[in-house]
Structure 1
Amino acid sequence: MTIILDAGIEAFPIAGHFTIARGSKSEAVVVSVRLEQDGYVGRGECTPYSHYGETPEMTLSAIEALAPALAGGMTRLELQDALPPGAARNALDCALWDLEARRAGTSVAALAGIILPQRIETAFTVSLGTPDAMAVAASRAAHLPLLKIKLGAPGDAERLGAVRAAAPDTRLVVDANEGWHEDDLDVLLDICRHCRVELVEQPLPAGADAALAEINHLVPICADESVHALDGLEALVGRYDAVNIKLDKTGGLTEALAVAQRAEELGLAIMVGCMVSTSLSMLPARLLASKARWVDLDGPLILAKDRPGGLVYRGGNIDVDASPLWGG
């Protein structure tokens, strides 16, 4: 029953550049995990995020430290106590799900009791830039059903107006990445309403979002950085209308499924999101699609090249066919 662990750091170049309010990057650095047991192989991937105090090296070290426990037969449930929510646990949790499904000769969806929807519509991200640059990007993507607009810097009103003019019929969500100030909320939310924005993600910094309980939500507001896992979910009620569930925050699919269930009980709508990463990260996350009102799993589309055997995207939709990468 010994599980053999192999893990490493990989870098995937981004097509062009990817910019949010906190900065730009030209590559996605991920930590990948491979677990082998009795000839069966399970895989997982995570994206360490410096904003959360994670580095690839620290994440890899935390994963490799569990090699003896895995060799001794550590289970997925035991993993939840061995590591806190975060990137390291995510890669291992997803690899254990994959391994379990392959050993059982079934799919992870079947193990989890999930029926994938016939169609998974995903947002396509428009990176933060000048109004003109964002308008050009939005125009090129205007044939897609849903765009996620990165904002969070001075000039956001002009950016949003330019995007809406360039893509007049496309559904829009906005991600401010903690970049707005509470003094500007009413004005910016009103502009979002006039531009027919469906959702505004994390307008204020995490830990400084109390004002959201005092304002009129002209557009539904979604928490991202303000909550990572089950702990703290109840505190969103009254401040937020929705929660963005990311496996790199929850520490894997196991807790993500629990977060989705609890969010529904609290009356919070669900968005499923991702970091910029490969299809190996998107495949576990798409199991939440049946519970999500908004799906944002376009990470591989931002890369210059995805992993072989990755997801297929057609017209803003993710094919639900099985992939050899993960999930059985």
Structure 2
Amino acid sequence: MTKLWQAPLKLSAYIEKRPLTQAFHITGYTFTESEVLVVCLQDGELVGRGEGLGVYYRHDTPTSMLKQIEALRERIELGVTHEQLQELLPPGGARNALDCALWDLDAKRQGSPVWQLAGMPAPQPLLTTFTLSADEPEAMAESARQLSDARALKLKLTNDHRNAERVRAVRAARPGAWMMVDANQGFTRDSLQEALPAFVEAGVAVVEQPFPVGCENWLDGLNSPIPLAADESVQDHRDLQNLVGRVQVINIKLDKCGGLTEALTMARMARDLGFKVMVGNMGGSSWSMAPAFVLGSLCAVVDLDGPVYVLTDRTPGVSYQDGRIWCPDGVWGGPVMAAA
């Protein structure tokens, strides 16, 4: 992992847009397409690929990410290690795309899959959540019924007073599904306390990011009967200590923390601090899910459903069966070239 390859690399980076199957709503945002930055690193006939979406609420967009990459083109093409990337770029989508492209290239150069290079166990299919866009309660219930293969559901909630209705409606539609809810910073202490009894009654297993970033002190003394997860409040490993005793689950996303290298470090640190670990995604194609799938072996909760919501995915791509995601080495990170 630390070896610096001397042969000059050829860098290419470009933006792709993939329409979503339908508009996707969360607190304060509506998405209609998945816009990504693709980074390719070529060494002779070998090509490593990475994909990043950035972090929309931090104004980290594919356009700004592309500028970051192009500013470092000469340095990158001279050869770079994963450790050097941590110094060259801040956490975010640009470093994620570049770090993952380098991992993919490493696999081709060394003839071993990324999971093996990272010291991870051989991958197995992972139970993943499938996400329901915030909507009217009956519309969310219908979406849950349509996701008949899903065994775990993640409900996007909003900052209005109908969240208990949404949870009850989905539970009635899918009585046997594992369920978590995600407020995307939309609750106050009062609105969360108001909704919690309905969440408990419906068997909600995790409440993700209830409060706005900067209001982590609202978590103090909350004594929630349901485990709480941090998402927007934790970007990389430097944010972990501030959440000890406040949440029980840490949601790691490669676009937030800046790549698989940091994600693996962060997951191990989080577990040492007593947190359960979750791997999430900002959307995207199978090239975004595949590196996160490697991390999934360390995680208690997996949320890797991004390709389900885009009209067209990569070929080959990840597959979903019986509520689980499976990512063959040939999609990304394997010793053999994947299709473009």
Q: TM bucket by the smaller chain? A: over 0.9
Matches within 5 A, 1:1-328: 1-154=7-160, 155-328=162-335
Any unmatched runs of 5+ in structure 1? none
The C-alpha deviation readout for 1:126-173, integer Å capped at 9, x for no partner, is 110001110111122244210110002311111111111111111101
TM-score under structure 2 normalisation? 0.94
Alpha carbons 2:55, 2:256 under 8 Å: kept: no
Task: Report deviation, 1:38.
Answer: 2.5
The CA distance in 2 between the partners of 1:112 and 1:293, in whole Å, is 19
TM-score under structure 1 normalisation? 0.97
Alpha carbons 1:40, 1:99 under 8 Å: kept: yes
Alpha carbons 1:120, 1:320 under 8 Å: kept: no
Task: Report deviation, 1:55.
Answer: 2.2
The CA distance in 1 between the partners of 2:45 and 2:312, in whole Å, is 29
Alpha carbons 2:318, 2:331 under 8 Å: kept: no
The C-alpha deviation readout for 1:253-310, integer Å capped at 9, x for no partner, is 0000010000001100011000110000100001111111110000000111111211
SS of match in other structure, 1:231: helix
Task: Report deviation, 1:320.
Answer: 4.2
Alpha carbons 1:62, 1:88 under 8 Å: kept: yes
Alpha carbons 1:284, 1:327 under 8 Å: kept: no
The 4+ residue runs of structure 1 with deviation greater than 3 A are: 324-328
The CA distance in 2 between the partners of 1:265 and 1:48, in whole Å, is 27
Larger mean Cα displacement after TM superposition, 6-15 or 154-163:
154-163
Assess, with a 3 A threshold, how the Cα gap between structure 1 residues 110 and 158 changes in structure 2: closer, same or farther. Answer: same
Assess, with a 3 A threshold, how the Cα gap between structure 1 residues 270 and 165 changes in structure 2: closer, same or farther. Answer: same
Larger mean Cα displacement after TM superposition, 310-319 or 80-89:
310-319
The CA distance in 1 between the partners of 2:229 and 2:330, in whole Å, is 30
SS of match in other structure, 1:257: helix
Letter in 2 for 1:251: G
Assess, with a 3 A threshold, how the Cα gap between structure 1 residues 300 and 320 changes in structure 2: closer, same or farther. Answer: closer
SS of match in other structure, 1:218: coil
Task: Report deviation, 1:176.
Answer: 0.6
Task: Report deviation, 1:77.
Answer: 1.2
Alpha carbons 2:40, 2:49 under 8 Å: kept: yes
Any unmatched runs of 5+ in structure 2? 1-6, 336-340
SS of match in other structure, 2:41: strand
State the partner residue of 2:3.
Answer: none
Task: Report deviation, 1:99.
Answer: 0.6
Task: Report deviation, 1:323.
Answer: 2.3
Root-mean-square deviation (CA), in Å? 1.2
The CA distance in 1 between the partners of 2:21 and 2:208, in whole Å, is 24
SS of match in other structure, 2:166: helix
Task: Report deviation, 1:185.
Answer: 2.0
Alpha carbons 1:224, 1:245 under 8 Å: kept: yes
The CA distance in 2 between the partners of 1:65 and 1:35, in whole Å, is 16
